[in-house]
Amino acid sequence: MIEMLTVDSERVDDIPLLLAQQERMRVQELLDEHFPQHGNRQGASFGCLAGIWLAHLLSESDHRMSHVRGWAKQRLETLRQSSGQANP
């Protein structure tokens, strides 16, 4: 029986650099400190989501939040590895 190999490729571009710079500036940490997550919210923290939105904004020069989901879907593995989140 022959096993089929599946290869997924993503454009990395500047995302790891943008997320690393945010980490050096403690953006996520500071946002989470000043805007704590309340009990009804599940999933990624506000700081993590804001960091990904900022990476999208700077990478794509597009501030519209409605476009972030599709952009993130195309770069899911890059965002996971760069942000240290299991599911950003």
* Closest C-alpha to 13, from 74, 86, 84: 74
Q: What is the pLDDT of residue 29?
A: 94
Average pLDDT rounded to a whole number, residues 58-72: 91
- Where do the structural domains in the chain lie, given as residue ranges? 45-83
- pTM, whole model, 2 decimals? 0.77
Question: Which structure tokens are listed for 87?
Answer: 């599911």
Burial-class residue 70 by CB neighbours within 10 Å (0-12, 13-18, 19+).
exposed
Q: What is the pLDDT of residue 85?
A: 67
Q: What is the tens place of the pLDDT at every residue in 11-41?
A: 778 999 999 999 999 999 999 999 888 778 7
